[in-house]
């Protein structure tokens, strides 16, 4: 319960437990709690997980050298390709689609002896930020309150990691989908700089903005995951931008004193006039905590013409194009080959019917649209509006001597979740604009709980490829406050 990667490794190396015991314990928690409580975070478990654990136990007993993440059970969002389990994107037409190989991230984790424990539910094709609903997995609920949303689209990973169904998780973030669900689950979620981590083998929503990465219970585990997955991958050309920017060891940023002398801008512009008073109270306390740890706050920090610049930082509508390229990568035996095939099958959630149909109306490749999108998907340099937006953010922060900016991840706690005819909106979501438009990194870290026991998050936004700085700040804040506690609905099993 609530263990870390380091804690797990310590227990294994001292002989207190075995890898099989660890994996079996997580599988038992999934079996006992996932469907019976209705949190409904997991689509499927990996039938090979225990055999993989046995192999690791044998190698450990033999004194073999093991990878950095050996025996770490991972909850994998079901838009990441896994060669040994179907990858559906939450869509019934792809429910039995087994990819020919792993995504880059999953392959890197396996190379370091992590165990892909289970695939988690997501909002179908990662469409929505406010909820997690799919034709394969149904409705996922918030691990802290089953009548509330986990947000989306990585709500299954968030709920599973929060409920201790796995050690760490993987999500994807086009506008919100790592940070928003992490905030609603009292987790740490990092949207890294575009180009730091490969998206190869992940069902795309919009490669102009898609980012993939870890969702964890601690900042330390976020750093450990990033150590393994960051770097250049020829299959995703945008990762060439990471050359010279990948840190040798992101755990070197884990310094409790990292906030001393930091200059941080308080970006109140994102906070709505009707923000939940509980969020405002916790945010002001977070600012006081940052000051107490030695940070100098520029409050408020303002950026001239921010809204106009953000409106100009547009992206092409490329879901159809990107999805069909992904389907082609599955080979001739793919269950469907086009978005039209999916629509014709009728195998999708009614909640997402209009999104599928409107995206299917887009004609042509990105460079054939009006206005055209040129160059590599996600390369800010190829999009004048986004380059202007990024330049403005970078120059404003640099001119003010800022190391980072902060704001609440949401203006409100998780919204009520009733049924498919009454789903929550994106109200209060502060993640959609700044980081996705600029391609710069942002990390959410637990900020506390409201009076109803619902988690809230503090988001820290940085300069391009400043992940070391953000991890350091998030760690120092986390260690000074220790806000996270496990949800009460899933106690330890005997």
Q: Tell me, what's the pLDDT at 242? A: 98
Report residue 472 CA to chain centroid gap.
19
Round to whole Å and give the CA distance between 401 and 261. 11
Segments of the chain scoring below 70 in pLDDT: none
- Tokens representing residue 186 in the block: 């009292």
Cα end-to-end distance, the chain, whole Å: 12
CATH number given to 5-316+379-481? 3.90.1300.10
Q: Tell me, what's the pLDDT at 422? A: 84
Q: Tell me, what's the pLDDT at 494? A: 84
Q: Is 349 a catalytic residue?
A: no
Q: Which of 153, 154, 172, 315 is catalytic?
A: 153
Are 139 and 133 within 8 A, CB to CB? yes
Q: Is the sign of the CA dihedral 307, 182, 352, 415 positive or negative?
A: negative
CA distances from 127 to 40, 169, 173, 355, 461 (A): 19, 19, 11, 8, 24
Bridge-based pairing state of the strands 42-45 and 115-120: antiparallel
> Where does 246-366 have alpha helices with state H?
277-292, 306-312, 319-329, 339-345, 353-360
Q: Which of 77, 103, 349, 466 is catalytic?
A: 77
Q: Which of 177, 183, 242, 466 is catalytic?
A: 177
Q: Is 177 a catalytic residue?
A: yes
Q: Tell me, what's the pLDDT at 371? A: 77
Q: Tell me, what's the pLDDT at 360? A: 98
Q: Is the sign of the CA dihedral 397, 413, 192, 386 positive or negative?
A: negative
- Tokens representing residue 430 in the block: 């502060």
Buried b (16+ CB within 10 A) or exposed e, 131-144: bbbbbbbbbbbbbb
Q: Please state the φ and ψ torsions of residue 97, each to the nearest 5 degrees.
A: -85, 110
Q: Is 358 a catalytic residue?
A: no
On the 0-12 / 13-18 / 19+ scale of CB atoms within 10 A, 65 is exposed
Are 179 and 212 within 8 A, CB to CB? no
Bridge-based pairing state of the strands 404-408 and 263-266: parallel
Round to whole Å and give the CA distance between 152 and 140. 9
Round to whole Å and give the CA distance between 138 and 124. 9
Every domain of the chain and the residues it spans: 5-316+379-481
Round to whole Å and give the CA distance between 409 and 6. 28
Supply the pTM of this predicted model: 0.98
Round to whole Å and give the CA distance between 441 and 464. 6
Round to whole Å and give the CA distance between 4 and 27. 17
Q: Tell me, what's the pLDDT at 369? A: 86
């Amino acid at each position: 319960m609530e263990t870390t990667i380091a804690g797990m490794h310590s227990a294994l190396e001292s002989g207190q437990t075995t890898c099989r015991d660890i994996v079996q314990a997580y599988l038992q928690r999934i079996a006992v709690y996932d469907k019976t409580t209705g949190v409904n975070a997991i689509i499927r478990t990996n039938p090979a997980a225990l055999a993989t654990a046995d192999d690791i136990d044998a190698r450990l007993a033999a004194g073999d050298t093991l990878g950095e993440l050996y025996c770490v059970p991972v909850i994998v969002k079901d838009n990441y390709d896994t060669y040994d389990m179907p990858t559906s994107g939450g869509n019934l037409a792809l429910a039995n689609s087994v990819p020919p190989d792993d995504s880059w991230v999953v392959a890197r984790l396996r190379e370091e002896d992590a165990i892909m424990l289970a695939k988690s539910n997501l909002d179908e094709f990662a469409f929505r930020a406010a909820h997690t609903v799919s034709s394969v997995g149904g409705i996922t609920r918030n691990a802290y309150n089953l009548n509330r949303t986990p947000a989306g689209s990585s709500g299954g990973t968030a709920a599973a990691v929060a409920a201790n169904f796995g050690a760490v998780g993987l999500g994807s973030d086009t506008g919100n989908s790592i940070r928003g669900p992490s905030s609603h689950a009292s987790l740490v979620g990092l949207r890294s700089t575009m180009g730091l981590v490969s998206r190869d083998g992940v069902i795309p929503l919009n490669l102009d903005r898609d980012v993939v990465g870890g969702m964890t219970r601690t900042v330390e585990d976020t750093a450990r995951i990033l150590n393994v997955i960051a770097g250049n991958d020829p299959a995703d050309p945008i990762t060439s931008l990471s050359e010279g920017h990948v840190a040798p060891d992101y755990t070197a940023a884990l310094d409790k004193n990292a906030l001393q002398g930091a200059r941080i801008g308080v970006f109140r512009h994102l906070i709505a006039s009707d923000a939940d008073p509980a969020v405002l109270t916790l945010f002001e306390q977070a600012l006081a905590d940052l000051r107490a740890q030695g940070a100098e706050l520029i409050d408020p920090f303002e950026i001239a013409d921010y809204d106009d610049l953000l409106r100009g930082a547009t992206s092409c509508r490329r879901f159809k194009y990107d999805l069909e390229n992904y389907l082609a990568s599955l080979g001739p035996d793919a269950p469907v080959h086009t978005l039209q095939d999916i629509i014709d099958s009728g195998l999708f959630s009614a909640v997402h019917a209009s999104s599928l149909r409107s995206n299917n109306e887009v004609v042509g490749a990105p460079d054939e649209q009006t206005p055209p999108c040129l160059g590599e998907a996600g390369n800010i340099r190829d999009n004048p509006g986004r380059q202007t937006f990024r330049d403005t953010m970078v120059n404003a922060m640099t001119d003010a001597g800022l190391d980072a900016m902060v704001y609440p991840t949401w203006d409100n706690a998780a919204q009520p979740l009733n049924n498919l005819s009454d789903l929550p909106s994106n109200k209060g979501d502060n993640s959609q604009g700044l980081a996705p438009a600029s391609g710069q990194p942002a990390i959410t870290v637990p900020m506390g709980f409201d009076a109803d026991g619902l988690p809230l998050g503090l988001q820290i936004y940085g300069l391009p490829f400043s992940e070391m700085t953000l991890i350091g700040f998030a760690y120092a804040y986390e260690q000074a406050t220790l806000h996270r506690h496990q949800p009460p609905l899933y106690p330890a099993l005997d």
